[in-house]
Amino acid sequence: MKTMDQVLQDWEAVIGLEIHCELTELETKMFCGCKLEFGAEPNTHTCPVCLGLPGALPVPNKAAIESIVLAGLATNCDIEKHTMFYRKGYMYPDMAKNFQTTQGPKAFAMRGWLDLDVDGKGAEERVEVRDLAAGDEANGATRTETGYTTHIGITRIHMEEDAGKMVHLGGGEGRIDGATHSLVDYNRAGTPLMELVTEPDLRTPEEARLFMQKLRQVYLCLGISDCSLEEGSMRADGNISLRRRGETEFGTRTEMKNINSFKALHDALAYEICRQAEVLEEGGTVVQETRHWDPATKRTISMRVKETADDYRMFPDPDLAPYDLSDEFIEGVRAKLPELPDQKVARFQRSWGLSAYDARHVIEHRETTQFFETAMAQAGPDAEKFAKPLANLIINDLAARMNADEGFDLATSALTPARALELLGLQIADTISSKQAKEVLEVVLAEDKDPAAIVEERGMKQVSDTGAIEAVVDAVLAANPDKVDEYKGGKTGLLGFFVGQCMKEMKGQGNPKLINQLLEQKLQ
């Protein structure tokens, strides 16, 4: 198979997402008062309604409707005042009533959008913008200094209910095929579930990944869901087709369902791009089907091909009153909108002079956002001075640590925002070097002590005394006459060697800036 990069020279990928998200932050289910709780003993959170007992009737959870309106407003959607719940029929044992209560042609939220800022390596996937100058546009993507921005349409966000969970017995690794029996647990049945459907506006796997990530940020910011991909409270279906560059017709698409990690979403779509291109370039046709992403083999596998189109026998649910949302209701929800990620980025740029890139990455996690905001508030009049170093600390050290170590919880770690400021203060004042700062950070986290105390205790203070440094510089130059000659002969790359030797002599405590300056003077 060709690489994705090769494929995308000739083909354009057209990607759409359906992202399901459970409203885990609510107390109770969508249509009954059963408690929402992940991981409880099976069938301990059920009642006549969510078990689908004869005679039971649904009553919608007002907080769920508020949540989806909030989600709609946060994603620039129009709120549809007049909507209804529908029954979507299919007999499957995890669906207690054998129909899912969902919405019909009109959803609570419709016609929204999110803008994506794509930068770094991921921006390279969009081949047509690589060589553009900043500000230029191609295919709806506008080149920026660090990558590009693009506009992703949201078709709708509708309200529905989740199904129960099944355990399949007797087959391999709990798989449904080969199983002899299954166990059904209805605790999850009836969990409020929002389904967001995008327009087919995404063009690369990276954009799909970023879209889901950004949506997750928005939902987390709204406080409506824990958005846990691991526990399945947020999951995506991706559909993708290819078309020759320049064509406007859509190709035949395939769909990948229930993808539960950002990486899997990216990799599954990337694989499909290559696979479909191979099929098409060999003169074949892509079969419209659902394919399963197997992370172990890193490929998608065809599921059973459906013989006929689904026919869900949808009709308006007579048990549920239609909606006629008032302006008052909608404005009441709007008043609860918190500062959204894009607004936060703008504020960080405006107030602290952060770059858009730094601001976006600082707010990638709720914990880092909180950390940054608290520290900035504590920094007082000096805040602006700390902003960039703090952003670096968060992006390069803390976020990296969070990604690498699941057990690391910034909020409860020994590094408080106050200690971070103290640490950065030492660095800004040239009391310690950036290298030493990293060491101090490790000690803070390991031993739960203040940075200043650590520096004091370990004698880690940076030597900025010009006389002391000059003595070391002279000694180093004297000990390496041949290298000095080579340097003077044009091998200026040796400067690093001399700096290293000086630092070694000074046990890492010399001020690297001063060492550099003095070396350059003396070697001239």
Partner 1 sequence: MSSFDYSALSVDDIRSGLAAGDFKARDIAEAALTCIEAADASINAFLQVTPDAAFAAAEAVDAAVAAGKLDTLGPLAGVPVGFKDNMNLLGTRTTCGSRMLENYESMYTATCVQRVLDAGGLPMGKLNMDEFAFGSSTETSAFGTTKNPWDLERVPGGSSGGSAAAVAAGMTPVTLGSDTGGSIRQPASFCGVVGVKPTYGLVSRYGVVAFGSSLDQVGPFARNVRDAALALNALVGHDDKDCTSQPCSTDFTANLNEGVEGMRIGIVPVFMTAEGLEPEVGEAVLGAIQKLAAAGAEIVEVDLPNAAAAMSAYYVIGPCEAFSNLSRFDSVRYGFRDPGHADLGSQYEASRSGGFGAEARRRIMLGSYLLSAGVYNTYYYPAQQVRTLITDDYRMAFGECDCILAPASPRTAFKFGEISDPATMYLSDIFTISINIAGNGGMSVPLGLGSDSGLPVSAQLICPWFEDEKMLRVAAALEREYGAAPIAPSYADLTASSGEPAPSSDLGGE
Partner 2 sequence: MTEHVTKADVRRIAEYARIGLTDDELPQMTEDLNSIIDSLKPITEYDLEGVEPTFHPIGDLSNVMREDVEGLSFTQEEALSNAPAKQDGSFLIPSILGGGDAS
Asked if 100 contacts 90 with a C-beta cutoff of 8 angstroms, the reply is: yes
Closest by CA to 306, choosing from 285, 289, 292, is 289
Size of the site for partner 2 (CB under 8 A): 53
For residue 45, the partner it binds in partner 2, partner 1, none, with Cβ less than 5 to 8 A by kind, is partner 2
Binds 63: which of partner 1, partner 2, none (CB < 5-8 Å by kind): partner 2
Options 282, 311, 328, 482; binder of partner 1; rule CB under 8 A: 311
**According to the binding rule CB under 8 A, does residue 58 interact with partner 1?**
yes
CB closer to partner 2, 62 vs 121: 62
Answer for which of 3, 6, 9, 48 binds partner 1 (CB under 8 A) is 48
- Binding-site member from 15, 17, 25, 60 for partner 1 (CB under 8 A): 60
Rounded CA separation 153/159 (Å): 19
Q: Is the dihedral of CA 453, 455, 459, 465 positive or negative?
A: negative
Contact with partner 2 (CB under 8 A): which of 22, 24, 60, 75? Answer: 60
Task: Determine the Cα–Cα distance for residues 42 and 393; give it in Å rounded to an integer.
Answer: 44
Give the one residue of 140, 250, 294, 315 binding partner 1; rule: CB under 8 A.
315
Q: How do beta strands 165-169 and 181-185 pair? A: antiparallel
Q: Is 208 in the site for partner 2 (CB under 8 A)?
A: no
Q: How many Cβ atoms from other residues are within 10 Å of residue 371's Cβ?
A: 23
Between residue 72 and residue 111, which ones bind partner 1 under the rule CB under 8 A?
87, 89, 91, 93, 96-99
Q: How far is the CB of 188 from partner 1 (least distance, A)?
A: 15
Helix (H), strand (E) at residue 243: strand 234-244
35 within 8 A of 270, measured Cβ to Cβ: no
Tell me phi and psi for residue 478, to 5 degrees: -65, -35
Beta bridge partners of 89: 99
309 forms part of the interface with partner 1 (CB under 8 A):
yes
CA pair distance 235, 229, nearest whole angstrom: 6
Q: Which does 324 bind (CB under 5 to 8 A by kind): partner 2, partner 1, none?
A: partner 2
Based on the shown chain and the rule CB under 8 A, indicate whether residue 56 belongs to the binding site for partner 1: yes
One of 2, 10, 42, 413 touching partner 2 (CB under 8 A) = 42
Q: Which is nearer to partner 1, 188 or 214 (CB)?
A: 188
Query: From the list 39, 41, 54, 285, which residue makes contact with partner 1 (rule: CB under 8 A)?
Result: 54
Cα distance between the two ends of the chain: 56
For 264: left if phi > 0, alpha if psi spans -120 to 50, otherwise beta; the answer is: alpha
- 85 DSSP β-pair partners: 103
**Window of 166-174, 206-214, 435-443, 499-507 that interacts with partner 2 by CB under 8 A:** 166-174
Q: Does residue 97 belong to the site contacting partner 2 (CB under 8 A)? A: no
The β-bridge relationship of strands 165-169 and 109-119 is unpaired
Q: Which residues of the chain form contacts with partner 2 (CB under 8 A)?
A: 26-28, 32-35, 41-47, 51, 59-65, 84, 91, 93, 166-168, 170, 176-186, 311, 313, 315-316, 318, 320-326, 329
